[in-house]
Structure 1
Amino acid sequence: MLQIAAIREHKEKFAEALKKRNIDANPMLDKALSIDENRRNLQAKLDETLAESNRLSKQIGDLFKSGKTQEANELKEKTGSLKEASKVLSELLNNAVEALQQVLYTIPNIPQDSVPAGNSDTDNEVVSEHGDMPKLMDNALPHWELAKKFDIIDFELGNKITGAGFPVYKSKGARLQRALINYFLDKNTEAGYTEMQVPLLVNEASGFGTGQLPDKEGQMYHVGIDDLYLIPTSEVPITNIYRGDLLDLKDLPITMTGYTPCFRREAGSYGSDVRGLNRLHQFDKVEILRIEHPNKSDGALDAMVVHVKGILEELELPYRILRLCGGDLGFTSTLTYDFEVYSAAQEKWLEVSSVSNFKAFQANRLKLRFRNGENGTELAHTLNGSALALPRILASILENYQVENYINIPKALIPYCGFERID
């Protein structure tokens, strides 16, 4: 969430930057400033009324001490009117504060200068490509056919139990899935990230804290009777561990990792792009997160990119890195790098990770601050990235490592899954 003081100071600059997201932010910014002006006027009137009431109360006490009872009682009537006025002003002020909060919740983060302009994912900027494209046999199969051939993932059974987008992993498919989870967690903890195991359901405050609400409300599964949400990513519960906290400078950076199933409705997703593991309603993901000093968040983002690169290179999967354009940038992000692996059988790139810097945007919603020495308190910066999302990694391994009658396992995963191939 943007800070209203920053909007007052940089309104024109923010409006221009938000054009990269293909939105005219002026109406939202103007509305926020108008409500804020009313809020500040109400606050000034309330402060003035309370000060006058306190002044008169002191005067009343002095009059009673002096035996001037009649004059004191006359002033008491006036203080009664002031108390009623302050009550009305307090209610108006609270309403203005809430109205301002609701408007600020709808304004997305400001893209960094390096974010390219663009309307959709077709305008994302390819930063680099790595690895050699595998040369598959002529009769190579996509992963959903490989899954059926070797009986390792059952999409029809998942549809029977729940519905489309909820696959059942079987035998070596389940073991490979578990191997990937453990491998990713080990790589992350070796890099200094503290492993966390968190709830899969969060309350509304947590959803607002990291920016999924109200922006992604329609994409989240809502348990209405308890007013809880199934998490779309472990970013939500892990980041909310520090909601409302005041950290010491020495606590930074805080680095965390966690594995969770993730749940996304993905309403309106149809067609070839959702076949097999390409797009699911329930999927597994390992996340890395950082809480950083503002001066160090840009460097931390670069370090996270290097970390994800290292994992993909160990898995020997061809990949590329993209800098997302303004039109494809997430609501809370100021800069995002996407990682895509190449699916040889499908002949397409599949997104497997997004690594993002949110700057102070989430921290302002979370009220997450740190003591910055003589400078008092300051909002921290938050970052997160997938390391990694499993479905498309698994799909790419199955497709890229297939040979005539079996599927090889990447060398880095053999110690984790206990077998060298699927046959």
Structure 2
Amino acid sequence: MLTEKLQKLGLSSEDMKGKVVLITGAGQGIGKELALAMSRLGASVVIAEIKDYGAKVEAQIKSEGGSALFVRIDVSDDGSVKALADKAVKEFGKVDVVINNAAVEYTGSVLEQPVIAWERAYAVNTIGPLRLIKAFLPGMLQRKGGVLVNVLSAEGMPYLAPYAASKAALQSMTTSLVAELGENSGVSVFTFAPGMVDTPGANSHIPQVAPRLGMTFEQFTHMGVNPGYEGLMPAEDCAAGFAYAIVHAKEYHGQGADAFLPLMRAGLINAGGMHVPGETAPAKEKEKEKPSVAAAVAEAKMTPAGAVELSKGMQNVIEAINKETEELDLFKRTWVKNDFGRRNGMSIKDWQKTAADLIADLEELARTSDAAKAGAIKTKFPVIISRAVKLEKYIQSSAENAKNYFKDPVQRETALEALAQREKAVTDLVKALKELS
């Protein structure tokens, strides 16, 4: 089944031929399925796993004619990571792809969790990936090629605070790394958010968390946070979508990836009846926006006053996304907020502040005759433009999801039109800021 899904995604045994892929936590769950997927796409696979059952994954890959090496490792230990690097390079000569997938989770409230649980979570989930980055990124930069992926989770999850907080820190570290590398290093760095996946870890922790939220296991797993699935996503499906992102890593550099969109595009899942990040529930009709002053402004020669109107249009887009998100239940809201932040490089709340600050700056720019003050305001525009471009891509992604999400053609057309209007509002503002810069 996994091979068939890879083929439907347009992937083949030539895609990773000659590449060496290292996956931490590859002994079970997503890591195991991803190791199998990478092997079937032609890669040699390093199975970095703290448990001995990583040897079974190595044996399975070799039985299929693939190339694999199991290395028992604790990513929280410097010596262990150094030994891993030495063995991988000795066996294969290099490592082209590093997937930081290993993680530990502890359940309980913030007050209940002992400090040692927090220390261990950060040691494995945050500092562990850092150790792998330090061990393998220099070689990638020297070769001007490579892929580095950090696996994330939803931020602020109740009763999983050490895990969620350590993953939020990993997101921040990834954002910093991407900014430092820029676009021309040859190394693609991105994050991957699996969703709620049927893994031993999930099946161990959900029964402990669900009752504390007043839910049964089935209620918890059927909240609809996985587009295209009523319950948990099979690890095999997640790995297939993950493999697609790795093969197309250059397209994901600096972005956040998940398995859902590739699987939907390939017709492997159908998102009907599920929440689409950035979109309202299908039962809600979207009203068509009337032509605004901003639309007319976009066609004229740009002035600071005109840009104020366009920035207000973008502010309306952010407020609409925020309103839709806040109407969701706790876990859907957490998921969507995390997805937004991952894809946009900043939270909805931060975007709200950015939009308000931009309006104030543009209003000041329209009033001032002080060249120095005007210049200081304009120095902020490049950063805002780069963030707005990410928002534009997020809206485009929501439109792709909506095509599969809405079965009713009227609802689909209404949703796509609303998203097109949102995209135009952001595009017009980007154009305006570029003209004023």
> Which structure shows the bigger proportion of residues in strand conformation?
1
> Which structure shows the bigger proportion of residues in helix conformation?
2
- TM-score, normalised via structure 1 length: 0.24
- TM-score, normalised via structure 2 length: 0.24
